[in-house]
Structure 1
Amino acid sequence: MDRLAGIALADWRAQAREFEFRGHQLRYWEAGQGEPLLLIHGFPSGSWDWHYLWQPLAERYRVIACDMLGFGFSAKPRGHAYSLLEQADIQQHLLQILGGSHYHILAHDYGDSVAQELLARDLEGERQMGSLCFLNGGLFPETHRPVLLQKLLMSPIGFLIGRRFSRERLAANFGKVFGADTQPDEQELDAFWAMIEANNGPAVMHRLIGYMAERRVHRERWVGAMQRTSVPLRVIDGAADPISGAHMVARYRELIPQPDTMLLEGIGHYPQVEAPEQVLAGYLAFRDRLN
Structure 2
Amino acid sequence: MNIAEIPLSVWRTRGYDFMFRGHAIRYWVAGQGEPLLLIHGFPTASWDWNYLWQPLAQRYQVIACDMLGFGDSAKPSAHRYSLLEQADLQQALLTHLQIDQPVHLLAHDYGDSVAQELLARHCECRFDLGSCVFLNGGLLPEAHRALRIQKLLLSPLGWMVGRVFDRASLDKDFSRIFGVDTRPSESELDDFWSLIAANGGPRILHRLINYIPERIQLRERWVLAMQQDQVPLKFINGAADPVSGLHMVQRYRELVPNPDTVLLHGIGRYPHTEAPALLLRHYNAFRAAVGVRENVFAVS
Global fold match (TM > 0.5): yes
TM-score (norm 1): 0.99
Pairwise CA distance, 1:126: 4.9
Distance in 1 separating the partners of 2:175 and 2:115:
26
CA contact (8 A) 2:51 2:276 kept: yes
1:49 counterpart residue number = 48
Which position in structure 2 is the counterpart of 1:124? 124
Residue 133 of structure 1, CA deviation: 0.1
* 1:35 and 1:100 in contact (8 A); partners too: no
**Closer, same or farther: CA 185–227 of 1 in aligned 2, 3 Å:** same
Q: Classify the secondary structure of the residue corresponding to 1:39.
A: strand
> Partner of 2:217 in structure 1?
217
Aligned positions of 1:146-225 closer than 5 A: 146-225=146-225
| Counterpart code for 1:147 | L
Contact 2:118/2:127, CA 8 A, preserved across alignment: no
Query: Which range moves more in the overlay, 41-50 or 118-127?
Result: 118-127
Q: TM-score, normalised by structure 2?
A: 0.96
- Residue in 1 aligned with 2:298? none
SS in 2 for 1:218: helix
Equivalence map 1:21-40=2 (5 Å): 21-40=20-39
1:127 CA drift (Å): 5.6
Secondary structure of the 1:228 match is coil
Q: Does 1:263 align with 2:263?
A: yes
Q: How many Å apart are 1:100 and its aligned residue? A: 1.2
Distance 1:61 1:191 in 2: 26
Partner residue in 1 for 2:142: 142
Report if aligned partners of 2:51, 2:272 keep a CA contact under 8 Å in 1.
Answer: yes
Q: CA deviation at 1:35?
A: 1.9
The answer to whether the 8 A contact 1:123-1:229 is kept is no
Going from structure 1 to structure 2, the CA distance change for 1:229 and 1:162 (only over 3 Å counts) comes to same
Give the residue type in structure 2 aligned to 1:156.
Answer: P
Residue identity matched to 2:288: D
What is the Cα deviation at residue 229 of structure 1? 3.4
Contact 1:106 1:133 survives alignment (8 Å): yes
Q: What letter is aligned with 1:209?
A: I
Q: More deviation in 167-176 or 81-90?
A: 167-176
Q: Which residue in the other structure is 1:236 paired with?
A: 236
Moved over 6 A (4+): none
CA gap of 1:118–1:127, structure 2 versus 1, over 3 A, is: closer
Q: State the shift of 1:223 in Å.
A: 0.5
Q: Distance in 1 between matches of 2:229 and 2:75?
A: 34
Question: What is the correspondence of 1:57-68 to structure 2 with a 5 Å cutoff?
Answer: 57-68=56-67
Write the letter of the residue equivalent to 2:112: D
User: In structure 1, what is the Cα distance between the partners aligned to 2:213 and 2:153?
Assistant: 12
Aligned residue in 2 for 1:8: 7
**Which position in structure 1 is the counterpart of 2:74?**
75
Q: Point out where structure 1 has 5 or more consecutive residues left out of the alignment.
A: none
Q: How many equivalent pairs are there?
A: 290
Report Cα offsets for 1:45-71 as digits up to 9, x if no partner. 100000000000000000000000000
CA distance in structure 2 between the aligned counterparts of 1:65 and 1:13, rounded to whole angstroms = 13
